[in-house]
Chain A
Amino acid sequence: MRFDAAGLRKEFPILSREFDGKRLVYLDNPATTQKPRAVIDAVSRFYEHSNANVHRGAYRLAEESTAAYEGAREKVRGFLNAASVEEIIFTRGATESINLVAYAWGRKHVAEGDEIVLTEMEHHSNLVPWQLLAQEKKAVLRFVPVENDGTIDVTRAAALITPRTRLVSMTQVSNVLGTINPVRRIAELARERGALLLVDGAQSVPHMAVDVRDIGCDFFVLSGHKMLAPTGIGALYVRKAVLETMPPFHGGGDMIRQVFLDHATWNDLPWKFEAGTPNFADAVGLAAAIDFLSAVGLDALQEHERALTGYAIGRLGEMAGVTLYGPRDVALRGGVVSFNVEGVHPHDLATILDRESAVAIRAGHHCAQPLMKRLNVAATARAGFYLYNVEEDIDRLVEGIHKAEEIFKT
């Protein structure tokens, strides 16, 4: 059966918007995705029908909201195939999840001289928290280089992961290059050398089937807003044996068992790591997003994006002034395409695409400044595809690039 992206698009109210009479073509999906009616309605319905603070209420409404919140946790567990809901912590997103690990796990388990292995393609959110930890602990950061084809070389990674390595932390899919990293093999390497592995799933879990036990990672992070869910909700998976060794992150209500004037004891997993009133309404939205994605089918979605990526690389690749970044083999990448147009700065390109063709793309460093240095560019333009994009969107992109070349007469 053909993937019905045009039909799915109708489920997204915002995608019927027009600018200057042109249908909005939204290609800024790696930054955030649009929301289907089902997610918007799930959140509205929660507020209209079930809203009450979770975990403490002795009345039926609070029981309902608690059930909805804990049901969302079970939904995330199932989506990632984690062993237990005790391993799923709700956070604000990938960034907060990584900071939680750096603070609660890192400050306990990383000491002077220990090493943390990252890659050169990490988003700032999977780099800066480790810089802060390394500075505090006098630990050392090591980087798996990005090869010229936009991939990482497992042999070079293997050489960097040593018995001094406490943690390897890397993205599963690059938000700039689209590269899919071989996290399963990295997990084996880490395990052999006694290191843990954190996988940044912000750009993978929205677009492909993920199984944290199959990967064999110890930590996995995601952001809801990049997978059809509301902003402000995300999750962290931590393998239970690791989570049990971690002290709390934030202190406050809900994360405690008993509180005395001078000390406190901790709640059970996972609530020990969720201080204060959690974002239960948006967790319900995340559960609805997972239902939506599951109904579409992650394998079919990945295939659809792969076809679009192949089409985009083909069309852009035949333009004389366009430089493409990332692997040429679409089997090695997700639906993110970064490029530059000779003589036209990405910002100018983004402005022209918007005003001329109602095409929304991103221009800049994509929160990956070290990768920009590695690619020897100040910035790139980036188009990222999702379940509601069609080939015509890429035609509109190409048409807009031609217009930009005309304005700049390159």
Chain B
Amino acid sequence: MSLEGLYQEIILDHYKAPRNRGSVENPDIDIFESNPLCGDEIRIQAKLDGRTIQDIRFEGKGCSISLASASMMTEALKGHAHDHAHKYIDGIKAMMHGEDKLNDEELGDMEALKGVADFPARVKCALLAWTTLEKALNDRAARKG
């Protein structure tokens, strides 16, 4: 698998100009996570309205793959319901094993992340934002019983 398949224009664009970078006022979700292998860090904050993710933003230090993935995630989930988030979390995880659970239309820019599956050492980078959000959503669901 070529480097071009990994470092596609769309990924570099999200890396250099990340969408929804920053923090959310009075967040309902506020989670910080780091990747123990490489030290990459991410903080995700979100404002919820019922079961809808009204606003979602991130801050982080990391490689192009982890930051581009976080940027794409916020774009894909903003304004959508929790269930939508879980569907995407599952879909992106499956994608890292080369499995297609989301179609191209659903994926949008995230299609560019498909190349990561051929770089096993980088899968953790691509998933950091997604697994962190998943943890936050699950923790919240558990607290609410």
CA distance A347 to B39 in the complex (A): 11
CA distance A363 to B121 in the complex (A): 11
Look across to chain A and name the residue whose beta carbon is closest to the beta carbon of B40: A378
A409 contact set on B, CB distance < 8 A: 12
Q: Which of A345, A355, A369 meets B63, CB within 8 Å? A: A345
Is B62 located at the chain interface by the 8 A CB criterion? Answer: yes
B3 contact set on A, CB distance < 8 A: 351-352, 355-356, 407
Q: Are A407 and B38 in contact (CB under 8 A)?
A: no
B12 contact set on A, CB distance < 8 A: 407-409
Which residues 345-365 in A have Cβ within 8 Å of B in the complex? 345-348, 351-352, 355-356, 363-365
Q: Are B63 and A347 in contact (CB under 8 A)?
A: yes
Look across to chain B and name the residue whose beta carbon is closest to the beta carbon of A363: B38
Is B110 located at the chain interface by the 8 A CB criterion? Answer: no
Look across to chain A and name the residue whose beta carbon is closest to the beta carbon of B67: A345
Q: Which of A352, A355, A378 meets B39, CB within 8 Å? A: A378
Look across to chain B and name the residue whose beta carbon is closest to the beta carbon of A380: B39
With A348-B63, A355-B3, A378-B61 in contact, do A364 and B39 touch (Cβ < 8 Å)?
Answer: yes
B32 contact set on A, CB distance < 8 A: none
Is A80 located at the chain interface by the 8 A CB criterion? Answer: no
Task: Say how far A275's CB is from chain B's closest CB, in angstroms.
Answer: 30
Is B65 located at the chain interface by the 8 A CB criterion? Answer: yes
Interface string of B79-104 (1 = CB under 8 A from A): 00000000000000000000000000
Task: Say how far B9's CB is from chain A's closest CB, in angstroms.
Answer: 10
Task: Say how far A85's CB is from chain B's closest CB, in angstroms.
Answer: 39
Q: Which of B7, B39, B62 meets A407, CB within 8 Å? A: B7
B119 contact set on A, CB distance < 8 A: 351
Task: Say how far A373's CB is from chain B's closest CB, in angstroms.
Answer: 10
CA distance A369 to B65 in the complex (A): 21
Look across to chain A and name the residue whose beta carbon is closest to the beta carbon of B39: A365
With A355-B3, A407-B3 in contact, do A348 and B64 touch (Cβ < 8 Å)?
Answer: yes
A346 contact set on B, CB distance < 8 A: 63
Is A256 located at the chain interface by the 8 A CB criterion? Answer: no
CA distance A4 to B104 in the complex (A): 55
Task: Say how far A221's CB is from chain B's closest CB, in angstroms.
Answer: 23
Interface string of A94-106 (1 = CB under 8 A from B): 0000000000000
Is A199 located at the chain interface by the 8 A CB criterion? Answer: no
CA distance A407 to B7 in the complex (A): 8
Q: Are A347 and B125 in contact (CB under 8 A)?
A: yes
Q: Are B38 and A365 in contact (CB under 8 A)?
A: yes
Is B122 located at the chain interface by the 8 A CB criterion? Answer: yes
B7 contact set on A, CB distance < 8 A: 348, 352, 407-408
A348 contact set on B, CB distance < 8 A: 7, 63-65
Look across to chain B and name the residue whose beta carbon is closest to the beta carbon of A364: B38
A407 contact set on B, CB distance < 8 A: 3, 7, 12
CA distance A187 to B68 in the complex (A): 49
CA distance A352 to B64 in the complex (A): 12
Look across to chain B and name the residue whose beta carbon is closest to the beta carbon of A379: B39
Task: Say how far B37's CB is from chain A's closest CB, in angstroms.
Answer: 7
CA distance A278 to B18 in the complex (A): 53
CA distance A277 to B30 in the complex (A): 50
Is A398 located at the chain interface by the 8 A CB criterion? Answer: no
CA distance A345 to B64 in the complex (A): 7
Task: Say how far A328's CB is from chain B's closest CB, in angstroms.
Answer: 25
Is B41 located at the chain interface by the 8 A CB criterion? Answer: yes
Is B6 located at the chain interface by the 8 A CB criterion? Answer: yes
Q: Are B122 and A347 in contact (CB under 8 A)?
A: yes
Q: Are A369 and B39 in contact (CB under 8 A)?
A: yes
B40 contact set on A, CB distance < 8 A: 347, 378-379
CA distance A379 to B12 in the complex (A): 19
With A347-B122, A347-B125, A351-B6 in contact, do A372 and B39 touch (Cβ < 8 Å)?
Answer: yes
Look across to chain A and name the residue whose beta carbon is closest to the beta carbon of B6: A351
Q: Are B37 and A364 in contact (CB under 8 A)?
A: yes
Look across to chain A and name the residue whose beta carbon is closest to the beta carbon of B124: A347
CA distance A363 to B37 in the complex (A): 10
B64 contact set on A, CB distance < 8 A: 345, 348, 408
B39 contact set on A, CB distance < 8 A: 364-365, 369, 372, 378-379
Please, could you name 5 A-B residue pairs with CB atoms under 8 Å apart, sorted by A? A348-B63, A365-B38, A378-B39, A378-B61, A379-B40
Top 5 A-B residue pairs of the complex, sorted by shortest distance between their CB atoms: A345-B63, A347-B63, A365-B39, A378-B61, A364-B38
Given pairs A347-B125, A407-B12, 19 additional interface contacts (CB within 8 A): A347-B38, A347-B122, A348-B63, A348-B64, A351-B122, A352-B3, A352-B7, A355-B2, A355-B3, A356-B3, A365-B39, A369-B39, A372-B39, A378-B39, A378-B40, A379-B39, A408-B7, A408-B64, A409-B12
